[in-house]
Structure 1
Amino acid sequence: MPIQQSDVQYTAVATAENGRDGRVATDDGRLDVIVNPPKEMGGSGAGTNPEQLFAAGYSACFQGALGVVARERGVDVTGSTVTAKVGIGRNDEGFGLIVEISADIPSVDADTARSLVEQAHQVCPYSKATRGNITVTLA
């Protein structure tokens, strides 16, 4: 169920100049980066790219969701990490994304880790936003 505007607790604002070959900055000045397409897509690769920024946001959000579900289940996930691999490629509509989320949770067994990751995928806002739009695999 989508949230209503009255339910919003925080809004991030970023502005891009010159698209994938320019600059992106947040309104508060905390993030100001040069963006360039990766060399694999004909760019210079000199700056970061939108896929790296998406991977950073998704991995941080998913790590937060993992912590929430772990606390609810009374499981300690101290020392865990979440990695998001974001790929971009051509599809029938131009370009599309694909994501692989992997979590390393050293303090639990494999079955518990798998269950926590699957549950985190159900509550993570990035996972909810991408569900049905792009392929996301869990590892």
Structure 2
Amino acid sequence: MNTRIRRMATIETIYQGGLRTQAKHVYSGNTIITDAPLDNQGKAEAFSPTDLMSASLGSCMFTIMGIAAREHGIDIDGSTCSITKIMAADPRRVSEIQITFNFPEIIYTEKQRAILERSARNCPVAKSLHPDLVQNIVFNFKD
């Protein structure tokens, strides 16, 4: 049984020159500009493609936590995360993504914490990244 979902293109991207691209989300019309980073011949005037990949991991984790939170009546509104991308040289690639989640001044039960952590670690982006890419995830809950 084929479990893959096929869709028409949801993103159209144009190379604008000068190591810059513009990606357009077809359904909403929103656009994202990317630039190469300073350490790879770019201007760093926007997210680099690897920045977006790292941001996608954090956003995906939050989205899946939000779904689980809604289903279990857990409040995570106002939570934040900080993301650090670590590059390797040979070959040039992202070798590690460090994400620190900070939750609001709410006392979560052990069960609620486990639900949130498990949902984050099982988001589609996390499961799509190569296993050699280290995902260092910290969950800061208030005690």
1:30 match? 30
Does residue 96 of the first structure (1) align with residue 72 of the second (2)?
no
> CA–CA distance in 2 between the matches of 1:102 and 1:27?
28
Q: Structure 2: which 5+ residue stretches go unaligned?
A: 139-143
Does residue 54 of the first structure (1) align with residue 53 of the second (2)?
yes
Contact 1:69–1:119, Cα closer than 8 Å, also in 2: no
1:132 match? 131
More strand by share: 2
Cα-to-partner distance string for 1:64-116 (whole Å, 9 max, x where unaligned): 1111222344322222123332232214xx12212112211122359567534
> CA–CA distance in 1 between the matches of 2:65 and 2:73?
12
Which letter maps to 2:76?
Answer: V
Superposed, 1:1-139 pairs within 5 Å as 3-5=3-5, 12-17=10-15, 21-26=19-24, 28=26, 29-33=29-33, 35-91=34-90, 94-97=91-94, 98-106=96-104, 107-109=106-108, 115-130=114-129, 132-139=131-138
Paired residues, number: 133
More helix by share: 1
> CA–CA distance in 1 between the matches of 2:67 and 2:80?
14
Which letter maps to 2:51?
Answer: Q
TM (norm. structure 1) is 0.72
TM (norm. structure 2) is 0.70
Q: Structure 1: which 5+ residue stretches go unaligned?
A: none
Would the alpha carbon gap of residues 126 and 18 (structure 1) be closer, same or farther in structure 2, given more than 3 Å must change? same
> CA–CA distance in 2 between the matches of 1:105 and 1:45?
30
Contact 1:82–1:103, Cα closer than 8 Å, also in 2: yes
Which letter maps to 1:41?
Answer: N
Identity %: 20
Which letter maps to 2:82?
Answer: T
Contact 2:55–2:83, Cα closer than 8 Å, also in 1: yes
